[in-house]
A and B are shown apart, each in its own frame.
Chain A
Amino acid sequence: MSWMEQSDSHSCVLLRLGERRFAVAADQVAELAAPSRIFRFAQRTPEIDGVILRRGRVVPVCDVAEKLTGKKLGRRRFYLIATRRQGEAFDWIALPVSGDCELIRAELTPAGPSDSAHVAAWLSHDGEVIEVLNLGALMPAAGTGQFPVSSGQTPEAHA
């Protein structure tokens, strides 16, 4: 049974990306964090801006604003740290948001076949119809990492 089928109303976190608001299921949200230093290194996943360090964990920063609104986010006010299931594990991602987030309870309307894959459901709040995001469809995903074990040898140095 999915989180949408468990009850009539659901806890969701509303987030703002520029002029628009979106929602994420509250049980997929770990925390809201102030912007912190972004570490960037060579990589080829365009959706990822870099990584932040959060409680000792490396969390990729995924700016989804352009994909969802057509505009890059001008100002990052917070990072919404969200989780998504990846097989047996949870993957953490940081979504930059441009305004305050709000925890609400709302009744959800399941997404229809014509909706985009990133729409898990719809909710109505304050006269606005808001997309509930399917983070798994919104962001790329790969399998779990591998850790080759080192041989313990040391290099020879030459001038």
Chain B
Amino acid sequence: MRIAAAHKTKPVGTEQIILFRASNQVFAISSASVQEVRSVDSLAGAAVEISEAGLGKVRHAIRRGERNLYVVNAALHFGLRASPAALIFLLRKSRVALLIDGIEKMTTMTQLQALPGAFCHEERTWYRGLTVLDQNVIPVVNPGGFLTPEEISQLDGVTRAQSGPEAAGIAGAEANL
């Protein structure tokens, strides 16, 4: 039976992606959205501990220039069991740094399928879509889906309260997201 279905696949040319692990699951992120890859150890001295009850996935902030970057634990963000993280992605044009277990490899994707409509919860914010690599389905994360502007404002408030006004994000910085 032929169905005139709209196959929601977007050819993306060749987009370079990074496959990374969080809690033993593999995700993909566009390499264009990753500005830096740092080891956790290299940022140990620069990270400030923060505690916001409603945002357990964020435990640290990193001072970069005049604003804070907030370190999101990828495993906790995706509702997975916390695992020993080794690397941090500093995301481009974002106030988010992503704590991950490790990098699998860099590769290219040629197609991105929309998340099927039956998925209707937070995963629609988490993912740009799904790609198929070597007969495996890999979710491609949405770099803008880790923290909302409201959550960043909330975290700015926490860091401001903890460390004084000079340590918090500059006013309106979240508008750059």
Contacts and interface: CB of A to CB of B under 8 A. Distances in A.
A19 B104 CA distance: 45
B119 A142 contact: yes
B129 A147 contact: yes
Interface-central residue, A30, A143, A145, by most chain B CB under 10 Å: A145
A159 to B, nearest CB: 6
Given A42-B79, A150-B30, A158-B37, A58 B6 contact: no
Contacts of B37: 155-158
A147 B38 contact: no
A148 to B, nearest CB: 6
Contacts of A89: 5-6, 8, 117
Interface in A122-147: 139-147
B176 interface: no
Contacts of A159: 39, 42
A139 B119 CA distance: 10
A92 interface: yes
Interface-central residue, B5, B80, B117, B126, by most chain A CB under 10 Å: B117
Interface stretch (B58-66, B108-116, B167-175): B108-116
A158 B42 CA distance: 9
Interface residues of A, number: 50
Main SS class of interface, A: loop
B90 to A, nearest CB: 9
Contact of A86 (B117, B129, B135): B117
B82 to A, nearest CB: 13
Interface in A38-57: 39, 41-45, 47-48, 51, 53, 56-57
B137 A39 contact: yes
Interface residues of B, number: 56
A114 to B, nearest CB: 27
B123 A44 contact: yes
A145 B132 contact: no
A93 B5 CA distance: 12
A159 B7 CA distance: 41
B151 interface: no
Contact of B120 (A26, A56, A142): A142
Interface string A96-137: 000000000000000000000000000000000000000000
A159 B31 CA distance: 17
A143 B117 contact: yes
6 tightest A-B contacts by CB? Answer: A145-B114, A89-B6, A42-B78, A44-B121, A90-B5, A142-B120
